[in-house]
Structure 1
Amino acid sequence: MEAITANKTTPLCPSARPEWENSTVFGVVTGKVEEPRVAYLNQRQPVTDELIALSASVTPTEVFRISAPCATKSCQHFDGTNCRLAMRVVEQLPAVVEELPPCSIRRDCRWYQQEGKVACMRCPQVVTDNYNPSEQIRQVATPTAG
């Protein structure tokens, strides 16, 4: 299998869409609907039609955490310098782990590069498409004006 590497000039978004170029799965959503948790894969997997088919009854981002090069100015969360979503995750969500989770994208992750390990301590509770979010999660996920 060919190694997957990040674009060295663009950090990876850890909450990407499967249709984005160079998207990879780095985690699987587990846990309860009320309290989801990401189980991190040892090695990223490319997003393929077969992988998308595995999540046929839900959107892929309900069950997979997907990374891809950050969309920067094309993203509603990007303020020109920073990811405001990462900022809100760190400011408004509690840590859900006591140690850094094993993560195959950390080195290249925008959230980690921008916010450090405090983002990683909150990351396992983030589900990109969460159709039953708490009010707190809903507020964190809502883009704010730059």
Structure 2
Amino acid sequence: MKATCPSGQAAPGATLLGIMGPGGRVVFTPHGPSLTEDLRTHLESQVDGPLETRYRFATPCATTGCAFWDGACRALDAAHEEYPTAMAALPECGIRDTCRWWSQEGPTACAVCPQVRTRA
């Protein structure tokens, strides 16, 4: 099964992983829909600028096609440097079974994931 990137772009077929909520934390949509043209149009009406500034999407991991890839995903290293990792419980997540970050770090990745913004 192909690994899933929890910080993908709003590409056709991407899964809506969550919405940026209060304090800049992601509120996850555990069984988010796939990004269709109709959904894209609706979401674009809700945000000024790129969709990734307000929403998080999951896409297949691009491995060598990603600037963060060097045999493993280094986006997590950057996230750990920028964000605190304390949390009470794992967030509900619709991609944990295939998540690249989970497969690399397990719960430690989930601790920082809700704070990650694909685009500021």
TM-score range, shorter chain: 0.7 to 0.9
Corresponding residue for 2:77?
87
Which of the numbers 17, 25, 31 marks the counterpart of 1:37?
Answer: 25
Cα contact 2:13–2:36 (8 A) shared by 1: no
> 2: distance between equivalents of 1:18 and 1:116?
25
After superposition, the C-alpha distances for 1:85-138 in whole angstroms (9 at most, x for unaligned) are 1123235421152210011111110011111111101111111111xxxxxxxx
Matches within 5 A, 1:16-55: 16-19=8-11, 22-31=13-22, 35-53=23-41, 54-55=43-44
Query: More displaced, 85-94 or 37-46?
Result: 85-94
Give the superposed CA RMSD. Answer: 1.6
Number of aligned pairs? 117
Q: Which has the higher contact order (CA 8 A, sep 6+)?
A: 2
Cα contact 1:90–1:118 (8 A) shared by 2: no
> 1: distance between equivalents of 2:13 and 2:4?
10
- TM-score with structure 1 setting the length: 0.73
Moved beyond 3 Å, runs of 4+: none
Cα contact 1:96–1:124 (8 A) shared by 2: no
Cα contact 2:5–2:100 (8 A) shared by 1: yes
> 2: distance between equivalents of 1:36 and 1:113?
25
Structure (1 or 2) with the larger CA radius of gyration: 1
